[in-house]
Structure 1
Amino acid sequence: MKPTPIVIHVVEDDAFYGSLLAHHLSLNPDHLVKKFTSAKTFLAALHEKPDIVTLDYSLPDGTGDYLLSQVKELSPESKVIFISGQNDIKIAIDLLRRGVHDYIVKDNDTKERLWISIEHLRETIELKKELDTLKKEVVKKYDFQKVIIGNSEPIRQMFHWIDKASKTNITVSITGETGTGKELVAKSIHFNSQRKKEQFIAVNVAAIPRDLLESELFGHEKGAFTGAAGRRIGKFEEAHKGTLFLDEIGEMDLSLQAKLLRVLQEKEITRVGSNQVVPIDVRIIVATHKNLLHEVKNGRFREDLYYRLLGLPIQVPPLRDRNNDIILIARFFIDQFCRENSLPDKNLSVEAKKKLMLYNFPGNIRELKSVVELACVMCDEMEIQPEHINIISASYNVNTMNGENTTLRDFTTKLIQHYLDLYQYDILKVAEKLDIGKSTIYRMIKNNELVVQKVEN
C-alpha cells in the first residue's frame, strides 16, 4: 500500500528562496509541497491542515509569533519549523518552549538541515496517521447493528437501548446469561459514543484473585506490598477519558465494593501504598450474569453500590429467545470458520436448521459457535446435515443425560478429551476454546485422566 503523502506548506516571502526549498523537499515523492509568499495566502489555506509548516520568521504581513498562534488555533496538529535570517538564541529557545519542532537559521546548510528535521518528523506523523486510521476502522467495526447479528424483537429492543446509552455518559449495567455477548454490547456502546477515540479497558472481576484486584483496578506504588517492584498504573487510570468495563461485577468482594463506591462518587483514585489522590474521568459499564438485586437482599452486594451502578440497564437476551437469529448467527460462524481455515463454503440443510432451532442452547452464542465449527470439520460435503451437528459431543445437553450415572468429573473429562481429539491435541487451543486454564489440562494428562496421542507430521 502506498504511504499517505506528507503535506508540507512552505511559507517564504523571497519567491526564489521559497521555490528552492519547495523544490528540494519535493525530491521525496512522498512529500506534497505547497509554496506561499505571504502570511495572507498561507492563512487562507490553513484549513487544509498541513502535516508540516515551514515559516519565515519575518514576513512583511505577519510576525512569527502571530503566525504560530494562528497555526496552534486553526491547525493544532501541524508541526512547525521556523526558518529565520536571525541567529537569535533567545528567540529560538522561546519558540521551542512553545512547541515549535525546530528553529533553523538561513545559511548554506539550511536545505540539508530542513530535510533532516522533516525526516525526523515523518515517522511520528505516519504513525499517528496509521493510528487514526485504525481507530476509524475500530469504530466502523463496532457499528452495532452490523456487528451484533440478529433481527428478532429482543435484539431490536436491545439496539434501541444501546443507541440511547451511546449518546450520553450514563453508567450502563448489562445483564444476561453466560455466553450471550455482554462484552460485545459494552464495546458497541463505547465505540459509538463520544469517547470512541479513547481507551476501552475490560476487566473480568471473576478472573482476578481478590487480593490482587485492588491493585489491578487502582494501581500501586513501589514497595506497597511484597513483589511490588515498581509503580503500576491501574485500570482506572489506564481508562482515563475512555471507558472501563467491569465484567462479572457481582463477584467483587464486599470490602472492595466500598472502595469502588467511593471512587465512583469522588471521581478520584488512590494507588495502593500511596496518599496521592489522582483525579479520573472514566465512563463505567458493568456486566453480570447474576441477579444483583437478589445479591443485595442476601447481603452479598452493597445496596448503595447497586443503585450507583444501575444507571441504564440493558438485558442481553438468551439465544433461545431469539428465534431465527440462531440461523443468522450460525451462518456467520460457518462463513468465518471456513474462511479462516481455508475450507470450501458450506451451507446448512433444511433439516440441520431445524435441529439447531429445536435446541435451547444453554451455552448461548458461545455454544452455537462451538457446535457449528465442529459441524464444519465433520462435514466433507458442501451442505451440513443434521448428523454433522453433534450437539451431545459438542455441548453435552444436560437433558440428554437423564438417567445416566454421570458425575460432573466424568462430564468434564469427556468434554476435554473430545476437544483434544478434535484439535489434534493442541492443548493451548483447547484451553482457549473451553475457556479453562492449560494447567488444568496438563494436570489431568499427568494423572492419566486424559489421553494425548502424538500427531504425525
Structure 2
Amino acid sequence: MDLYKIFIVEDDEWYGEILQYHLSLNPDYEVTLFKTGKECLSNMSLQPDLVTLDFSLPDLTGDKLFKKIRDINPQLPVIMISSQEDISVAVNLLKLGVSDYLIKDEATKDLLWNSVVRIRETQTLKKEVANLREELGQKYSFDKSIIGQSDALKKVFRMMEKAIKTNINISVSGETGTGKELVAKAIHYNSNRRKKKFIAVNMAAIPLELIESDLFGHEKGAFTGAISRKIGKFEEANGGTLFLDEIAELDLSIQSKLLRVLQERELVRVGGTENIKLDVRLIVATHKDLAEEVRKETFREDLYFRIMGLPISLPPLRERGGDVLILAKHFLDDFAKENALGSIHFTKEAKDKLLQYYFPGNVRELKAMIDLAAVMCENNEIDADDITYTSTKREEVFMAEQKTLRQYTCDIIKYYLNKNDNDVIATSKVLDIGKSTIYKMMQAGELE
C-alpha cells in the first residue's frame, strides 16, 4: 500500500515538528516539514496527497501560496492553519477552495488529525467512483457490451461512433429484446458525459398519474401525499444522460409537457415556481414505428421531430446470421463461470438448431434459452434436445425453422395424427384432406 504523502509548511520549527510527529503516529502517513513556501513549491514534483499551510509565512502569505499550489494541482486538498481568529479570513479562504481552516491552539493537532482522516476518506471515495466509472466505460465499450460481428451490427457500431462525438438526441428503435438500453448505456459511457449519471426510465412501467412527478419532480404539498420535495429524473440526470424507454407509450397529456422541457431546456417542478436549468442528453427507445404513431395521432409530430435526433435501428437477431452462435457461446461461458459448471460446448446439431430458429424474443430470448440448456445438458455437452424454444407465441415457434411447404405439411399431419391416436380417418376429417393422401405419405416414409 502506498504511503499517504503530507506536506506541512510551518515557519515555527518547534510547532511544525509537533504537528509532524503527531501525524507520523499513523504508519500510513509520510510527513515532510517545510519552513517556507518556496521550499514547498520546489518539492511539488513529489506529488503530495495533502498540504497544510501556515497562514503567516515569511516569504509567501498562505493565500498566495495556496493559489500557486492550485495552479500546479487544482485537485490537491489544502488545510490552512492560522493564529488569525477573524472569521472573515476563514470564510474568504474557504471560498477560494481551502479544504479546512484551523485556529492555532492546544486542540489544533487533534483537529488536524481528524481533518486529515476526513479528507483522505473523501479522496478514497472519489478514486473509487472514478475507478467504477472507468470500469463502466470498459464494460460498455462497444466490442465488449454488444457482442457480434455481423454486417448488420457493424452498421449500428458506425452510428454509435457518430453518436458519442456530439450531444445530439438519440432515438433507438428495434424489436423487444434487441438490446436498446445496452446501446444507450454504451453511448453514454463512451461519451464526454460518462462522469455524470445515466438514468433509465421505462415509460410503460409508470402509472399515468405519477409520470409527471417522476420525470419533473414535485414540491412539498404539491398534491395529496407529497410530504416532501422530490427531484425528478430530468434533474437527477442533469449533466448526464436520460434514457426514456418505450417512449411511444407516453400519454399525449405528458407529451406536451415533455416537449416544453426539451425546447426550453428547463423545467418547473409540479407545484413549484422555480425555473431549473437543464443540461441533459436525451436517448429514447421504442419497439414501435413512431412515424406510424404520429400518423395515428397517438404521438405528437412536433415532439417526434424534437426527439428523433440521430436514429439508430437495431436489427433483430434473426438478421444477424452467425452472431447467434457468438452470443450463444458468450452467454454459455458466462453462465458456466457464474455457476462453476466447468467448460460446456455445443454439438453441431445444437448449433444448427440455434441457427434455424426465428428468435421472436431476440437476444433476451437467446440468453434464457442458453441458461436453460446449460442446466439440462449432460456431460457438459449441449445437444439439440437440450435447446427448448422459449417463445410464448405458438405461431412464431411453428414458423421458426426454415422448411419447405411439404415439410410443414408433414409436421401438421404428424401433429394431428398424434393428437388423434394415429387415427387416419379422424385426422383426414379435421384437416379436410383425403385419407389416401396420408397413407401415401406414410408409405413414402414422410410421416414416420
Aligned mates of 1:284, 1:120 — CA distance in 2 = 37
Whole-angstrom CA distance in 1 between matches of 2:262 and 2:3:
45
- Superposed, 1:42-191 pairs within 5 Å as 42-46=40-44, 50-86=48-84, 90-106=88-104, 109-191=107-189
Q: Secondary structure at the match of 1:329?
A: helix
Give the alignment's TM-score, normalised by structure 1: 0.82
Q: Is residue 371 of structure 2 the alignment partner of residue 398 of structure 1? A: no
Deviation string for 1:323-381 (max 9, x for gaps)? 11111111111111122222222111111111101111010000000110110110121
What residue is the counterpart of 2:269 in the other structure?
271
AA aligned opposite 1:192: N
1:313 aligns with 2:298: no
Task: State the 1:54 CA deviation.
Answer: 0.3
Deviation at 1:107, TM superposition (A): 5.0
Cα distance change on mapping 1:50 and 1:124 into 2, 3 Å: same
Number of equivalenced pairs: 401
- Aligned pair partner of 2:327 in 326, 329, 335: 329
Alignment RMSD, CA only?
2.3
How far apart, CA to CA, are the structure 2 residues paired with 1:400 and 1:332?
24
Q: Deviations over 1:261-312 (max 9, x none)?
A: 1111100011111222111110000111111111111111111111111111
Match of 1:345 among 343, 356, 360: 343
- State the one-letter code of the partner of 2:250: M
| Matched-pair contact (CA < 8 Å) for 2:358–2:397 | no
Contact 1:13/1:38 (<8 A) preserved: yes
> Are 1:193 and 2:191 counterparts?
yes
Partner Cα separation in structure 2 for residue 47 and residue 397 of structure 1:
70
The residue matched to 1:95 in structure 2 has which SS?
A: helix
Q: Which residue matches 1:378?
A: 376
Alpha-carbon separation, structure 1, partners of 2:164 and 2:97: 35
* Larger Rg belongs to: 2
Q: Which amino acid aligns with 2:286?
A: T
Q: Please list, as runs of the form range in 1=range in 2, the aligned pairs for 1:171-320 lying within 5 A after superposition.
A: 171-320=169-318
Shift of 1:396: 5.6
CA distance in structure 1 between the partners assigned to 2:257 and 2:36 by the alignment = 59
Greater mean alpha carbon deviation, residues 208-217 or residues 108-117: 108-117
List structure 1 segments (4+ residues) > 6 angstroms apart after TM superposition.
none
Residues of 2 paired with 1:132 and 1:284: CA distance? 23
- Shift in Å, 1:85: 4.8
SS in 2 for 1:366: helix
Higher mean C-alpha displacement, 46-55 vs 263-272:
46-55
> Aligned equivalents of 1:104 and 1:83: distance in 2?
5
Give the fraction of aligned pairs with identical amino acids, expressed as a percent.
Answer: 53
In the TM superposition, what is the alpha-carbon distance from 1:18 to its structure 2 partner? 4.1
Residue 53 of structure 1 aligns to a residue whose secondary structure is: strand
Contact 1:367/1:395 (<8 A) preserved? no
Gaps of 5+ in 2: 400-411, 414-448
| Equivalent position SS for 1:281 | coil
Please report how far the alpha carbon of residue 139 of structure 1 lies from its aligned counterpart in structure 2 after TM superposition: 1.5
CA contact (8 A) 2:361 2:391 kept: no
Aligned with 2:6 (options 1, 5, 8): 8
**Residue number in structure 1 paired with 2:34:** 36
**What is the CA distance between 1:93 and its match in structure 2?**
4.6
Q: Is the 8 A contact 1:36 1:42 kept in 2?
A: yes
Change over 3 Å in CA distance of 1:45–1:365 after alignment to 2: farther
* Structure-2 change in CA distance of 1:401 and 1:211 (3 Å): same
Structure 2: distance between partners of 1:355 and 1:330: 12
Query: Deviations for 1:66-116, whole angstroms, at most 9, x for unmatched residues?
Result: 122234444333222122355555534543454433333445554333223
Question: Which residue identity is paired with 2:395?
Answer: V
Q: Distance in 2 between matches of 1:209 and 1:135?
A: 32
